[in-house]
């Protein structure tokens, strides 16, 4: 998947599942297959937190998850690790404000998709000018999944960005579930990013399907 135009990217961002080995209570490859069966539209490999894989183990898991995505025509994005994304020829990368500057990452990854987490309208403007393709905005709701998470911000920034006329694709993130996803879309996001609402669900495929239903409706 080369850098897509903003309308097709908006479609791909609708049910955006993020996961790494530390988010799974069973085999990550199984979790991803079940999430795909339930209808996710995009996958991000994010290997973070206590006990996160590194080196060869991280590479092998990333490769395995990427091959599942390729088989199922689901774009495969990597969190933070630009070298891994380049080594695997992933479809894109997602970075935070504390990572390398957007211009530098854009130069390294060429026409791969580039997502960035933003927390203010100014960060959003700077990021888009520097070559970002979409924004991750959060935490919308309380979450325990990310260690260095900022304070809960609700949908305020999504609304502000849309009110000011910026049409960049947006995903909301943080504590999102099938039950609370609709206000995020209503605020102006194109999709929702979730970790535990899918990865910790008793039925992963049902959880993904339920989320999909509420985002598409
Ligand atoms: N980024 P869950 S919140 C990875 O606010 C991440 O930028 C966030 O996990 C941000 O769906 C978050 O389990 C964790 O709440 C999302």
Which CATH number does the domain housing residue 193 bear? 3.20.20.70
**Dist. CA 119–CA 125, nearest whole Å:** 11
Q: Which atom of ligand 1 lies at the shortest distance from residue 136's CA?
A: 7
Q: Examine the residue annotation and report whether 8 is marked as an active-site residue of this protein.
A: no
0.95 exceeded by pTM: yes
pLDDT in tens, 111-130: 999 999 999 999 999 999 99
Q: How many A from CA of 154 to the centre of ligand 1?
A: 13
Dihedral (Cα; 83, 113, 48, 37), 10-degree rounding? -120
In a domain, 55, yes or no: yes
Residue 217 has pLDDT above 80, yes or no: no
Which ligand 1 atom sits closest to the C-alpha of 96? 7
CA of 70 to the centre of ligand 1 (A): 25
Is 44 assigned a ligand-binding role in the annotation?
Answer: yes
Residue 25 lies in a domain: yes
Task: Verify whether residue 67 is a known catalytic residue.
Answer: no
Domain extent, residue 103, equals 6-215
Tens digit of each residue's pLDDT (9 = 90 or more) over 57-82 = 999 999 999 999 999 999 999 999 99
If one counts the domains in the chain, the total is 1
Q: Where are the beta strands (DSSP E) in 35-125?
A: 42-45, 76-79, 92-95, 113-118
pLDDT at 142 over 90: yes
Question: Does 2 score more than 70 pLDDT?
Answer: no
Residue 5 has pLDDT above 90, yes or no: no
* Nearest-5° Cα angle at 125, 119 to 129: 130
Active-site annotation holder among 4, 117, 127, 199: 117
- Assess if residue 26 is contained within a domain: yes
- pLDDT of 26 strictly over 70: yes
Cα of 48 from ligand 1 centre, angstroms: 11
Q: Is residue 1 one of the residues assigned to a domain?
A: no
ipTM of the shown complex: 0.99
Residue 89 labeled ligand binder: no
Q: Is residue 83 part of a domain?
A: yes
Q: Say if residue 194's pLDDT is above 80.
A: yes
* Distance (Å) from CA 193 to ligand 1 centroid: 8
Does 47 count as an annotated binding residue? yes
Mean pLDDT of all residues in the chain? 96
Q: How many residues does the chain have?
A: 217
39 within ligand 1 shell (Cβ under 6 A): no
Look up 150 and say whether it is catalytic: no
């Amino acid at each position: 998947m080369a850098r897509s135009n903003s309308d097709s990217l908006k479609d791909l961002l609708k049910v955006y599942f993020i996961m790494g080995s530390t988010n799974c209570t069973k085999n990550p490859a199984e979790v991803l297959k079940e999430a795909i069966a339930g209808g996710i539209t995009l996958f991000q490999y994010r290997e973070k937190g206590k006990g996160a894989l590194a080196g060869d183990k991280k590479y092998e898991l990333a490769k395995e998850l990427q091959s599942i995505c390729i088989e199922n025509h689901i774009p495969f994005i990597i969190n933070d690790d630009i070298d891994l994304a380049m080594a695997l020829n992933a479809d894109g990368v997602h970075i935070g404000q504390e990572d390398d500057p957007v211009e530098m990452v854009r130069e390294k990854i060429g026409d791969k998709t580039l997502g960035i987490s933003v927390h203010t309208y100014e960060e959003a403007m700077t990021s888009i000018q520097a070559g970002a393709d979409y924004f991750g905005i959060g935490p919308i709701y309380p979450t325990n999944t990310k260690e260095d998470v900022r304070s809960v911000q609700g949908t305020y920034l999504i609304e502000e960005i849309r009110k000011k006329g910026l049409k960049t694709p947006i995903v909301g993130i943080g504590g999102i579930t099938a039950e609370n996803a609709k206000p995020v879309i209503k605020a102006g996001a194109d999709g929702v990013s979730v970790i535990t609402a899918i990865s910790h669900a008793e039925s992963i495929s049902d959880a993904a399907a339920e989320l999909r239903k509420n985002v598409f409706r």
